[in-house]
Structure 1
């Protein structure tokens, strides 16, 4: 069992669970706005809750996988990775091993989603959350790729 870290305000709906050699990033679903008594009621317009998920290319054979998140989550994902990089479990582990570089592709944005392919250990999407598990040796490069991408988006707002 890992250590669940207290999220910072910059992380939005993302939380971090730390293990000795890996981390799990989890995005919680937005809080239900309906009152407790109206939990079984359907929303007035179900189309409001529809989200277009990025298509997965299942024909590409690769040992690497990736993950995707909403464009609006770019800064929170970077803040989440910052929390991992500052954690004592990460610092202890990364001080004893070599970092594995060159495994992440350049991120790209399409239809309101950012996707990045790379060495994801495990990923899952459930009703109440979405998780991605990464080895500590891949976290710093992922953060660097996303920061560079965010900088490029700030220069060229048409990418969104």
Structure 2
């Protein structure tokens, strides 16, 4: 369970190009799994290296649909999304089970809830996953403080 939470947060941080410090506290097995998920989604969505470099440079919300699908793919592989549904309760449960600090639990719960707002109006699975990813990306400072 802890692996899922760590992966979820770090995958979001990877895409925000701030994963270096966050990866320090994970095991080599977890790091390998995170890299594998990113690679799988990279190749399964035909993302080019130039597109990926531009994406992690902090260019903002991806306009290209395949990059949105890349984001959704990562979230699907760690359980944040499941067939276009945001697994908010699953994520909150994992955070509550793996964080000892009550203030960090509260912050994480608020962030998880806020990232789920407005999703019912989005029909495309990739757009929906990208919306969740964008919310996490926008709140990367909060996410970083939660996992430190």
Alignment TM class, shorter chain as reference: 0.3 to 0.5
Considering fraction of residues, name the structure with more helix. 2
| Bigger CA radius of gyration | 1
More strand by share: 1
Give TM-score scaled by structure 1 length: 0.32
